[in-house]
A and B are shown apart, each in its own frame.
Chain A
Amino acid sequence: MQFDDKVPIYYQIKEYIYRQIITGKLAPGDKMPSVRQLAVDLTVNVNTIQRALSELTAENLIEPKRGKGNFVTATDQQISELKEQLINEHLQQLYKNLRELNVSDEEILNDLGRYIDKQRDDQK
């Protein structure tokens, strides 16, 4: 995984795990990879992984079980909230970028509709 070196790494690890939970790659009840394994997979420091995991624990998305590792405990409601939050962030960015190009709200809606139609056609 490529990190943005201007943004705290623990924060980017949290975002990475959020995405895994939202997309179901990590489902409720699943055991998380070990701290050392995550560090190797993401090429980061073990201490940074630990910080990210302890924040996720505080957010009740995962739970450490003594001697067994970390388990995903996110509820369906938490997952849909996470997803909504992520969708909002993307929309906010898209909207901001287009408004900066002086594209009106109506044009944005039209352009987006056209874009989606074209994507569908391309897939046929």
Chain B
Amino acid sequence: MTNAIEISNLSYRKNMRAILASINLSIGAGKIVGLLGENGAGKTTLMRLIAGVGKGYFGQIAIDGETGIAEKKAVVSFSEPLTGFPRNMRIDRIVSFFEDVYPDFSDKRYNELAGFLQIDEGLKLSQLSKGMREKLIIGLTLSRDAKVYLLDEPFSGIDSMSRKKIINSMIRWKPETATILVSDHYVSEIASILDEVVIIKDQTVFDQKSTEEIREKFGQSIEDYYEKAYEGRDSND
């Protein structure tokens, strides 16, 4: 079976500085995988490169076996931060934009998700709270029928009810064979829904492990295991 994500020898530099170096990563189809790392570790950069919106990297990224930019974009749904939309734009207009741009955007799925997440389409973008905005982003992202969903820090700074709703919609609406890669710097809130964790440290993939293996073999919580990866290093940086 073709891996959902297959990355070999990926390196990325920005302003002469290495952001990502020698990344090799295989992620199987049908999984929910946590992408963990401190702020600034390169999680967002990695997601942008996988999504095909970041350019100028070395190495190869294949999504569901596809390596062409257009082919990849067609099967990857990336959680757009919606920063490109005017602040006074109404939500229903943003939804129509997504319908027009993505052929795999499903109205039916969106309506189900919007109902569940309680998204009020009459509001303007600027009127949304942080939690509402994240829920809208997740609703839009999961409404596409993609092979890979990339959710970039959907839980940072939001209330616990919104978090629960987002986690629930990931379980409910993930197509069986699709893969979700979700980044976070605080893992305990999503540990129970993850198949694997990928830890990014020192510009590269420091570790990749099955969550059940961490519990079974090491008797550790996912949070403890993750913190250990960062232990023994000066935390002043």
User: Taking the complex as formed, is B188 at the interface, i.e. its CB lies under 8 A from any CB of chain A?
Assistant: yes
Q: Is the CB of A5 within 8 A of B193?
A: no
Residues of A within 8 A of B224 (CB): 6
Q: Between A and B, how many residue pairs show CB distances below 8 Å? A: 53
| Interfacial residues, chain A to chain B (CB-CB below 8 A) | 3, 5-10, 36, 39-40, 42-48, 51
User: Taking the complex as formed, is B192 at the interface, i.e. its CB lies under 8 A from any CB of chain A?
Assistant: yes
The residue on A at minimum CB distance from B169 is A40
Q: Is the CB of B32 within 8 A of A5?
A: no
Distance (Å) between the CB of B234 and the closest chain A CB? 28
Interface residues of B in 171-192 (CB under 8 A from A): 171-172, 174, 176, 188, 191-192
- Give Cα distance in the complex from A39 to B174, angstroms: 12
Residues of B within 8 A of A7 (CB): 215
The residue on A at minimum CB distance from B220 is A6
User: Taking the complex as formed, is B30 at the interface, i.e. its CB lies under 8 A from any CB of chain A?
Assistant: yes
Question: What are 13 A-B contacts defined by CB distance under 8 Å?
Answer: A5-B215, A5-B221, A5-B223, A6-B219, A6-B221, A9-B212, A36-B171, A42-B192, A45-B32, A45-B195, A46-B171, A46-B174, A47-B31
* B191: contacting residue among A5, A42, A46, A51, CB under 8 A: A5
On chain B, the number of residues with a Cβ less than 8 Å from chain A's Cβ atoms is 26
The residue on B at minimum CB distance from A47 is B195
Residues of B within 8 A of A43 (CB): 164, 167-168, 171, 192-193
User: Taking the complex as formed, is B91 at the interface, i.e. its CB lies under 8 A from any CB of chain A?
Assistant: no
Residues of B within 8 A of A47 (CB): 30-31, 195
* A8: contacting residue among B167, B188, B194, B216, CB under 8 A: B216
The residue on B at minimum CB distance from A10 is B212
Residues of A within 8 A of B164 (CB): 43
Distance (Å) between the CB of B115 and the closest chain A CB? 15
Q: Is the CB of B172 within 8 A of A44?
A: no
Distance (Å) between the CB of A5 and the closest chain B CB? 4
- Give Cα distance in the complex from A36 to B193, angstroms: 12
Interface residues of B in 141-184 (CB under 8 A from A): 164, 167-168, 171-172, 174, 176
Residues of A within 8 A of B191 (CB): 5
